[in-house]
Amino acid sequence: MAAAAITSTLFSVLLINICLLLGSAFAEDPFVNYEFVVSYITASPLGVPQQVIAVNGKFPGPTINVTTNNHLVVNVRNKLDENLLLHWSGIQQRRSSWQDGVLGTNCPIPPKWNWTYQFQVKDQIGSFFYFPSLNFQRASGGFGSIIVNNRPVISIPFDTPYGDITVVIGDWYTQNHTALRKTLNAGKELGMPDGVLVNGKGPYRYNDTLVPAGIDHEKITVEPGKTYRIRVSNVGISTSLNFRIQSHNLLLTETEGSYTVQQNYTSLDIHVGQSYSFLLTTDQNASSDYYIVASARFVNETTWQRVTGVAVLHYTNSKGKASGPLPDPPQDQFDRTYSMNQARSIRWNVSASGARPNPQGSFRYGSINVTEVYVLENKPPVTIDGKRRSTLSGISFANPATPIRLADEYKVKGVYKLDFPTRPLTGAPRIGTSVINGTYRGFMEVILQNNETKMHTYHMSGYAFFVVGMDYGVWTENSRGTYNKWDGVARSTTQVYPGAWTAILISLDNVGVWNLRTENLDSWYLGQETYVRVVNPEPNNKTEFPMPDNALFCGSLSKLQKPQDTSFATSIKYCGLNLVYTSMLMVSALISMFY
Ligand SMILES: *[C@@H]1O[C@H](CO)[C@@H](O)[C@H](O)[C@H]1NC(C)=O
Ligand SMILES: *[C@@H]1O[C@H](CO)[C@@H](O)[C@H](O)[C@H]1NC(C)=O
Ligand SMILES: *[C@@H]1O[C@H](CO)[C@@H](O)[C@H](O)[C@H]1NC(C)=O
Ligand SMILES: *[C@@H]1O[C@H](CO)[C@@H](O)[C@H](O)[C@H]1NC(C)=O
Ligand SMILES: *[C@@H]1O[C@H](CO)[C@@H](O)[C@H](O)[C@H]1NC(C)=O
Ligand SMILES: *[C@@H]1O[C@H](CO)[C@@H](O)[C@H](O)[C@H]1NC(C)=O
Ligand SMILES: *[C@@H]1O[C@H](CO)[C@@H](O)[C@H](O)[C@H]1NC(C)=O
Ligand SMILES: *[C@@H]1O[C@H](CO)[C@@H](O)[C@H](O)[C@H]1NC(C)=O
Ligand SMILES: *[C@@H]1O[C@H](CO)[C@@H](O)[C@H](O)[C@H]1NC(C)=O
Ligand SMILES: *[C@@H]1O[C@H](CO)[C@@H](O)[C@H](O)[C@H]1NC(C)=O
Ligand SMILES: *[C@@H]1O[C@H](CO)[C@@H](O)[C@H](O)[C@H]1NC(C)=O
Ligand SMILES: *[C@@H]1O[C@H](CO)[C@@H](O)[C@H](O)[C@H]1NC(C)=O
């Protein structure tokens, strides 16, 4: 039966998925440990059985729940039949691009191997997510939410919510990532997705014609008269989604690590790769359940009707099922500024504290002088050397066999060039490993110019950047006059509307090699990315951590790699229930000791 869609042989092995253990090497900041087994399971989120990537047998994977400055240790076991890297989207990896989980910094974890990520979630709070970064795997799953809580000594700018609910939404194909990759490799488009999933589940049957029987939907149960924090991430492939909850306001409070000016929205556009927190007050009568909707944006709604995620908000005292039509999406077919104005309305709360006690606005980004300017322009896909590729500033990025950061460490020459152009190249597009030469402690202005007719979001690892402006047309020097120099929000993923530009400012204080990419998965797969290399001219272990002992080797350094004992699959008993319980007690005891 499709309703019992998610099955797993792993479930019996891994009764408890998350192990919290305590380390003691660095005294005051607690260690939080997770064991992640990444494997295929069969699931039928849209009623069609398919191979899905699960973490510990779950799809989506477990939520990572940590607090500012915790040391996070995630031992990842790769039970897929291909290489794997997990990327912690929006986690800044301060001084430690070694742990970022993208090909420019890490060698992939081969099938049957495990690799332990270890990093400190330094000076951060907020809502983020993780996903597998290689081979289009995100289209098959492997993702989950990340919560970074405030330390108890720093108050959040709203009353403590009654509950904390994570929601991942995203477009979905019933074909797996291998099949989708094949389509892209053949130079074809993926076409319209088959649906939108909410927490890994297909739509509630709100309409018998549009939704076939036997699909399992997500039901979120709440108590009446409370306020919940709902964290929503778009983990999909390429579709911007409008998120709304019938008859309820969404009070926006946080996005990707910044507390925003609190404002009510009846619906909000969430683009691929973005995360938001809302406060939801359960102040409606419980005459029925309510719809939670994530519908495709900027498309023909008649043909895209089935590409709609529908879940249910269920009050514990609800008297009936949700019925009738879905709440309307924004009616802005003829108003292309509506969504952009909504994006501009999202602003930083300059008086709220973020991860540190001082107000967010005490970092006055508007008064810092820019030291370098890059205009990055995408173009519709082109054929280069007989292959369909996508470009950024005329260059389609080719990942080197030896990761950039590793090549630097071992002084391997010729892996990449620090020649990424400050303005888009005008000649014939080319394939290359061109990297941006970032100046340590510089202040970089990046203009993202979207020359395609589809929506893009751009993400940068290692940093939160300030979104200071966006508009339709081509950016010029005069556009700077429109910048928000006061309360532009600091985040790691920004949308760039078709035929429009978005300007961001980045304070290059984090040493490492950092991915700058489109979150649109097919464009990324076809080469629309680069890296920003930030080097301290006086290297030391304070501005960048040394290479971790367990670093994997590949490419021209593969001879340094020792073989791994892959018999781990049966030796995970230490991760048992009792230990989890006791160590959770120990963590809370330790936390209360320090605050
Ligand atoms: C993906 O789908 C293809 C074609 O349907 C199938 O042959 C293949 O076994 C699937 N691969 C995985 C890893 O599920
Ligand atoms: C693999 O996992 C084991 C524990 O199960 C750990 O001791 C080892 O360090 C891990 N290997 C790597 C390369 O992280
Ligand atoms: C901004 O944060 C402050 C400090 O926490 C809070 O009191 C205030 O309500 C917030 N303002 C808005 C508009 O969200
Ligand atoms: C996260 O962990 C904290 C304890 O550290 C707990 O209070 C909180 O309820 C957890 N949040 C979620 C969403 O599990
Ligand atoms: C279901 O959707 C179809 C197609 O949009 C529409 O014609 C029909 O009126 C809907 N049914 C109900 C009960 O709303
Ligand atoms: C948001 O809407 C709720 C009702 O849903 C209301 O109680 C609250 O005052 C509104 N907040 C703001 C900042 O507008
Ligand atoms: C409950 O609320 C719904 C919509 O919010 C409204 O249509 C309905 O009339 C209300 N019912 C009662 C009994 O107040
Ligand atoms: C949307 O698609 C339908 C069905 O293909 C078509 O009849 C309609 O003209 C389209 N609407 C727009 C605005 O393009
Ligand atoms: C920025 O540049 C202006 C003139 O170029 C200079 O007067 C000012 O002191 C600089 N500000 C900072 C913070 O360096
Ligand atoms: C990179 O930038 C630094 C200054 O930040 C400069 O010294 C160096 O020469 C540049 N390297 C290249 C290859 O342009
Ligand atoms: C792309 O750039 C070309 C040439 O500059 C321009 O004519 C065209 O309008 C642009 N298209 C979009 C969607 O921005
Ligand atoms: C950094 O630490 C590593 C080992 O932890 C050491 O080998 C190296 O010399 C240190 N580098 C600097 C510049 O201090």
The DSSP-derived string for 516-567 is EEES-HHHHHTT-EEEEEEE-SS--TTTSPPPPTT----GGGGGGPPP---G
Kindly state the DSSP code that residue 498 receives in the 8-state scheme.
T
CA distances from 13 to 21, 58, 434 (A): 19, 13, 45
Tell which atom from ligand 11 comes closest to the C-alpha of 450.
Answer: 14
Helix (H, G, I), strand (E, B) or coil at 142: coil
Please enumerate in sequence order all residues whose Cβ is within 8 A of that of 274, keeping only pairs 6 or more positions apart, or say none: 233, 234, 255, 256, 457, 491, 493, 495
Kindly state the DSSP code that residue 106 receives in the 8-state scheme.
-
Q: Do 471 and 492 reside in the same domain of the chain? A: yes
Counting ligands in written order, the one closest to the CA of 349 is 3
How high is the pLDDT of residue 446?
98
CA 457 to the chain's CA centroid: 11
**Tokens at 547, concatenated:** 């290479």
Q: Is 594 among the domain residues?
A: no
Quick one: which of 63, 73, 93 has its CA closest to 22? 73
The residue whose C-alpha atom lies closest to atom 5 belonging to ligand 8 is 303
Q: Is the CB of 157 under 6 A from ligand 3?
A: yes
Q: Do 148 and 168 reside in the same domain of the chain? A: no
Q: Do 377 and 510 reside in the same domain of the chain? A: yes
How high is the pLDDT of residue 301?
87
Cβ of 438: how many Cβ atoms within 10 Å? 27
With residues binned 3-state (H G I as helix, E B as strand, rest as coil), the percentages for the chain, rounded to 5, are 15, 35, 50
CA of 162 to the centre of ligand 6 (A): 17
Q: Do 203 and 65 reside in the same domain of the chain? A: no
* Number of separate domains in the chain: 3
How high is the pLDDT of residue 568?
53
Q: Is 545 among the domain residues?
A: no
Checking if the pLDDT of 543 tops 70, the result is yes
Range of the domain at 474: 365-535
Compute the average pLDDT of residues 221-235: 98
Checking if the pLDDT of 531 tops 90, the result is yes
C-alpha to C-alpha distance for 86 and 84, rounded to whole angstroms: 7
C-alpha to C-alpha distance for 222 and 521, rounded to whole angstroms: 34
> Of residues 427 and 589, which shows the higher confidence score?
427
Please enumerate in sequence order all residues whose Cβ is within 8 A of that of 553, keeping only pairs 6 or more positions apart, or say none: 107, 406, 559, 560, 561
Domain boundary pick from 535, 554, 589: 535
Least confident span in 20-24, 202-206, 238-242, 470-474: 20-24
Compute the average pLDDT of residues 144-166: 97
Checking if the pLDDT of 586 tops 60, the result is no
Q: Do 241 and 197 meet the contact criterion of CB atoms below 8 Å apart?
A: no
C-alpha to C-alpha distance for 461 and 99, rounded to whole angstroms: 11
CA of 9 to the centre of ligand 7 (A): 45
Q: Do 372 and 314 reside in the same domain of the chain? A: no
Backbone angles phi, psi at 566, to 5 degrees: -100, 25
CA of 155 to the centre of ligand 1 (A): 48
Compute the average pLDDT of residues 352-368: 97
Quick one: which of 516, 531, 550 has its CA closest to 415? 531
Counting ligands in written order, the one closest to the CA of 260 is 3
* pLDDT tens, position by position, 104-135: 999 999 999 999 999 999 999 999 999 999 99
Q: Do 279 and 253 meet the contact criterion of CB atoms below 8 Å apart?
A: yes
Ligand 5 binding pocket, CB closer than 6 Å: 207, 209-210, 305, 325
Please enumerate in sequence order all residues whose Cβ is within 8 A of that of 165, keeping only pairs 6 or more positions apart, or say none: 220, 228, 229, 230, 231
Q: Do 98 and 205 reside in the same domain of the chain? A: no
Q: Do 415 and 400 meet the contact criterion of CB atoms below 8 Å apart?
A: yes
Q: Do 150 and 38 reside in the same domain of the chain? A: yes
**Tokens at 561, concatenated:** 């790699």
CA distances from 591 to 147, 168, 452 (A): 17, 29, 49
Compute the average pLDDT of residues 378-389: 97
* pLDDT tens, position by position, 424-476: 999 999 999 999 999 999 999 999 999 999 999 999 999 999 999 999 999 99
CATH of the domain at 86: 2.60.40.420
* Apex 80 CA angle, 76 and 83, nearest 5: 75
Q: Is the CB of 498 under 6 A from ligand 11?
A: yes
Counting ligands in written order, the one closest to the CA of 324 is 5
Q: Do 227 and 147 reside in the same domain of the chain? A: no
Cβ of 376: how many Cβ atoms within 10 Å? 25
C-alpha to C-alpha distance for 129 and 90, rounded to whole angstroms: 7
Compute the average pLDDT of residues 90-106: 97
Q: Is 284 among the domain residues?
A: yes
Confidence of residue 259 (pLDDT cuts 50, 70, 90): very high
How high is the pLDDT of residue 150?
98
C-alpha to C-alpha distance for 579 and 571, rounded to whole angstroms: 15
Quick one: which of 271, 189, 249, 197 has its CA closest to 456? 271
Q: Do 416 and 300 reside in the same domain of the chain? A: no
Q: Is 105 among the domain residues?
A: yes
Counting ligands in written order, the one closest to the CA of 137 is 1
Checking if the pLDDT of 1 tops 80, the result is no
Q: Is 477 among the domain residues?
A: yes
**Tokens at 155, concatenated:** 């108050």
**Tokens at 360, concatenated:** 């967010």
Q: Is 210 among the domain residues?
A: yes
Compute the average pLDDT of residues 292-308: 95
CA of 379 to the centre of ligand 8 (A): 26
CA of 65 to the centre of ligand 4 (A): 6
Element (H, E) at 72: strand 71-78
The residue whose C-alpha atom lies closest to atom 13 belonging to ligand 11 is 499
Confidence of residue 539 (pLDDT cuts 50, 70, 90): confident
Q: Is 488 among the domain residues?
A: yes
Quick one: which of 581, 553, 516, 570 has its CA closest to 108? 553
Identity of the amino acid at 259: Y
Tell which atom from ligand 11 comes closest to the C-alpha of 453.
Answer: 13
How high is the pLDDT of residue 151?
97
CA 23 to the chain's CA centroid: 27
Confidence of residue 27 (pLDDT cuts 50, 70, 90): low
Checking if the pLDDT of 509 tops 80, the result is yes
C-alpha to C-alpha distance for 58 and 35, rounded to whole angstroms: 13
* Apex 409 CA angle, 405 and 411, nearest 5: 110
CA of 405 to the centre of ligand 2 (A): 22
Confidence of residue 595 (pLDDT cuts 50, 70, 90): very low
Buried b (16+ CB within 10 A) or exposed e, 489-528: bbbbbbbbbeebbbbbbbbbbbbbbbbbbbbbbbbbbbbb
Q: How many CA atoms lie within 13 A of 205 on its CB side?
A: 10
Write down the mean pLDDT value for the chain: 92
Compute the average pLDDT of residues 196-225: 97
C-alpha to C-alpha distance for 456 and 241, rounded to whole angstroms: 12
**Tokens at 273, concatenated:** 């790769």
Helix (H, G, I), strand (E, B) or coil at 233: strand
Q: Do 132 and 252 reside in the same domain of the chain? A: no
Q: Do 58 and 124 reside in the same domain of the chain? A: yes
How high is the pLDDT of residue 423?
98
How high is the pLDDT of residue 567?
66
How high is the pLDDT of residue 28?
86
Q: Is 547 among the domain residues?
A: no
- Report field, pTM of the whole predicted structure over 0.85: yes
Quick one: which of 174, 168, 312, 184 has its CA closest to 241? 168
* pLDDT tens, position by position, 43-62: 999 999 999 999 999 999 99
Q: Do 249 and 318 reside in the same domain of the chain? A: yes
Checking if the pLDDT of 7 tops 80, the result is no
